[in-house]
Each structure stands twice: as C-alpha cells, then as structure tokens.
C-alpha cells in the first residue's frame, strides 16, 4: 500500500489579514448595464450625416446661406407676405420714378412697382432651378446607377449616349430645343416653366451620370457589398441598402451647386427672349426689360434690384453646396 504524497501548505504570515470580497450591490449591478447601453446607443447614433451636421452647424457660412435660401423659398411660395401691391398694376404717371416713399425699389418704364415684380418674379426663376436640379439628379443618377452596377453593354451604350449630349453646350442646346417646342401666349405659367426645365434637363444630365457612375464603381467592390451578395441579397436590396446610400453624397453636393447655375441659365434664356415669355414674371425677364435701349442709364434701378436678387439667390445655393461638400468629404475636414 503506497502513501499518497501530500502538498505542503505554505506558512501563514500572521500580519497578512484575509480580505473579504463582497458581491456588488443590486443598485450598482443594475446601473452598469444602463451606462453601457447609453454608450452603445450613442455610438450607434453617429453616422455620416450626423457628423456632417455637427460640422455644418459650427460654420457661420452655413447659417448665412440657409437664412437666404429660407427667405427666397418663402418669397417663392408666399409672395404676398412681402408686398401687398399688385405686380401687374402699372401707372404711366409714375413711370421711371426712382426709389422713394411708397415704392422701395421705384417704378419701371411702364410705371409698375419694381419691388412687387421682383418679389413675384422669384417664383418662376427659383421654381425652374429647383425642378431642373431635381429632375437632372434623378435622371442622371438612375442612368449612372444602371451603368455602374450592370456594366457590360449597358455601360457602353449609356456612356456613349452621355458623351453625345455632353458634347452639346447646355445653353446652345436649350436654345435649339426651346425653338422646337411650340407654345402659345395663352399657355399657363407651369407650361413655360416645364418647357425650360425639359430643355435644360436633356442637356444637363450627363455630368450627374458620370459622377454617379464613378461613385458606384468605387462602392461596388467594397467588402460589405460582397458580403451582402454572398448572403444571398438580391440586386435591388444590394443597390438600395448598400450602394445607393454610399454613392449618393457627391450627387447631392453637385446638384446643390448646379442649382444656382440653372437659375442663371433660365435668366439668360429669358434675357435672350426665348425662355419665359413677357406674361410670366421672372428675374430674367425683368433684366431683359431693363436692358432695353436707354433704360440702363435713365432707370438703373430697374436692372439693379432684380440682378441683386438673382445674384444673392445663386450665391446662397453655391455657398450651401460648398459647405455640404466640405462637411461630407472626409479629405476636406
């Protein structure tokens, strides 16, 4: 019979006292998960647009551009809040009277109130810019998404089609198309607005197409897209949930900047006499009327105030696009 070896116990130091470890109290145990949960929810709430908003709200330029855009949008929808005068009422006895009492911006060559016509002219000009930017972004974005995601012959056909329209200058193509679409003087305002929007959209979608196509080609080979495909996600789910949200940011920025250019193009077409007709009040038509022979020297306020509103509107949208671009592009932060 063998004896089992025993492990000798170490000597106990009489000066060392054992420490009693007490379990955590119920209050402490219940409070710790709450802290972790709050940290987790705070981390989940951070996103690209959340970080962009934190950057934009600290920039005074963003608030200046936002305030100007808000004022012009309210002027477009509710022009009666800014003037109580009828923009179509003209009094020849007040023709060419400068700014003064009863007329903030004076009267034009026909005796019409320049302030009232400038306020009501914002509706057509801004509406053309907004609709053109929206339709151009939708058409160019969808075609660019198809070309970048599908590739192959679809990409080749759409790219060559975009090159054809891209080779035609926007203003020149819009002039030719505006002459090709018949319209009567009695047509409603929206018909003329949609006519100008269609002319600028047909020749303005190729830049958005190229931008979206390149963004899709950059996002398409990423790991999360490949993982979604490996898990059995369909093409619509992959495009809608993974590719489109990550490729849409450059399109939004460029469309915001281009909106001001579309307003200038509409004013140029109206100034040339082939955009909006005289029956529709717009800033382009006001500038065209003020540029008639002899009126610039005799009645300079006819040209000054519509041109000032036009410049402020275009500048506000361009500044907003620049701020959004700086906030969304991590390379520029």
CB 281 within 8 A of CB 124: yes
Closest alpha carbon to 154 in 213, 225, 238: 213
Q: For residue 312, give the CATH number of its domain.
A: 1.10.3720.10
Query: How many structural domains is the chain composed of?
Result: 1
In a domain, 19, yes or no: no
Per-residue tokens: 227? 């993982």
Write down the mean pLDDT value for the chain.
Answer: 82
pLDDT of residue 34 exceeding 50: no
- What is the model's pLDDT at position 333? 55
Lowest mean pLDDT among 95-104, 289-298, 317-326: 289-298
Confidence of residue 126 (pLDDT cuts 50, 70, 90): very high
CA dihedral 21, 24, 25, 29 (to 10 degrees): 180
pLDDT of residue 7 exceeding 70: no
In a domain, 12, yes or no: no
Q: How far is residue 179 CA from its own chain's centroid?
A: 30
- What is the model's pLDDT at position 2? 47
In a domain, 227, yes or no: yes
In a domain, 310, yes or no: yes
**Could you read off the pLDDT of 186-242 as tens digits, one per residue?**
778 888 889 999 999 999 999 999 999 999 999 888 888 888 888 888 888 888 888
Residues 6+ apart with CB under 8 A from 113: 83, 85, 87, 89, 103, 105, 107
In a domain, 235, yes or no: yes
pLDDT of residue 8 exceeding 80: no
* Interval 28-45 mean pLDDT: 45
In a domain, 32, yes or no: no
In a domain, 104, yes or no: yes
- Domain interval for residue 95: 48-332
In a domain, 28, yes or no: no
């Amino acid at each position: 019979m063998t004896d089992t070896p025993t492990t000798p116990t170490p000597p106990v130091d009489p000066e060392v006292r054992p420490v009693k470890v007490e379990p955590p109290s119920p209050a402490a145990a219940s409070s710790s998960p709450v802290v972790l949960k709050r940290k987790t929810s705070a981390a989940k709430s951070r996103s690209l647009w959340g970080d962009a908003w934190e950057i934009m709200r600290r920039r005074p330029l963003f608030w200046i551009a936002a305030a100007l855009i808000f004022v012009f949008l309210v002027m477009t929808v509710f022009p009666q809040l800014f003037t109580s005068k009828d923009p179509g009422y003209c009094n020849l006895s007040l023709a060419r009277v400068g700014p003064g009492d009863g007329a903030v911006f004076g009267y034009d060559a026909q005796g019409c109130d320049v302030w009232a016509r400038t306020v009501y002219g914002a509706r057509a000009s801004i509406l053309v810019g907004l609709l053109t930017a929206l339709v151009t972004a939708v058409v160019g974005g969808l075609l660019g998404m198809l070309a970048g995601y599908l590739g192959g012959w679809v990409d080749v056909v759409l790219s060559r089609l975009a090159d054809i329209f891209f080779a035609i200058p926007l203003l020149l193509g819009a002039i030719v198309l505006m002459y090709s679409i018949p319209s009567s003087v009695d047509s409603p305002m929206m018909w003329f607005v949609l006519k100008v929007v269609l002319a600028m959209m047909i020749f303005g979608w190729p830049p958005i197409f190229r931008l979206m196509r390149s963004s899709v080609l950059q996002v398409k080979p990423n790991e999360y897209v490949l993982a979604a495909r490996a898990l059995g996600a369909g093409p619509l789910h992959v495009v809608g949930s993974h590719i489109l949200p990550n490729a849409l940011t450059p399109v939004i920025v460029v469309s915001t900047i281009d909106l001001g250019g579309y307003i200038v193009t509409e004013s140029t077409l109206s100034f040339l006499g082939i955009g909006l007709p005289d029956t529709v009040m717009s800033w382009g038509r006001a500038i065209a009327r003020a540029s008639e022979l002899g009126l610039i020297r005799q009645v300079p306020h006819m040209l000054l105030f519509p041109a000032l509103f036009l410049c402020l509107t275009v500048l506000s949208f361009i500044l907003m696009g620049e701020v959004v671009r700086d906030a969304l592009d991590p390379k520029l932060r």
